Amino acid sequence: MAKLTSDALEVIRQYASLLETVEEGLDYVEASFSAPRGMHADVLLGDILLALGKIGETNVYLSRLFAEESDFVRHLERFADVLEAAEALDGKFADAAAKERIVCERLSPAFQAWKMAVASGLRRYIVQ
């Protein structure tokens, strides 16, 4: 287990919180396809995409911080799968059927699987 500064631990806590928020947001967006919530879900999806960018930036920091934990770093690198699914939304916001298919069949499952793997590696630092 890496020895971390209080600043690093705070980054990890905020990162874990962001992962939870993105997961909740994706759940909301998915639910909006069966019970339309208007433009709010589109705005939220846009915010989720911005958050994914911030997660990617933080992954670079975490990869350096946990450089000696190669399994965890490999999990972080799998975030590329999430970004690939998110990129499939490019130009598809106006196409409700395509957006629903991408979010429900690609983006959300990719994020869920990735988050589960990463969260297990972070848990020991968050529960201190």
Residue 97 included in any domain: yes
What is the model's pTM? Answer: 0.92
- Judged against a pLDDT cut of 60, whether residue 128 lies above it is answered with no
Of residues 46 and 124, which shows the higher confidence score?
A: 46
Query: How sure is the predictor about 38, in pLDDT bands with cuts at 50, 70 and 90?
Result: low
pLDDT at 4: 86
Cα(105)–Cα(124) distance, integer angstroms: 31
Give a three-class secondary structure readout of the chain. Answer: CCCCCHHHHHHHHHHHHHHHHHHHHHHHHHHHHHCCCCHHHHHHHHHHHHHHHHHHHHHHHHHHHCCCCHHHHHHHHCHHHHHHHHHCCCCCCCCHHHHHHHHHHHHHHHHHHHHHHHHHHHHHHHCC
The domain of 91 spans 6-123
Span 102-127, mean pLDDT?
93
Residue 86 included in any domain: yes
Residue 1 included in any domain: no
pLDDT at 106: 98
Span 59-65, mean pLDDT?
96
Structure tokens at 109: 């499952």
pLDDT at 125: 82
Q: Name residue 48's amino acid.
A: I
CATH no. for residue 37?
A: 1.20.120
Cα(69)–Cα(85) distance, integer angstroms: 26
Q: How many domains does the chain have?
A: 1
pLDDT at 35: 81
Residue 95 included in any domain: yes
- Judged against a pLDDT cut of 80, whether residue 48 lies above it is answered with yes
pLDDT at 44: 94
Cα(98)–Cα(93) distance, integer angstroms: 8
pLDDT at 40: 85
Structure tokens at 99: 């957006």
Tokens 């705005």 belong to 43
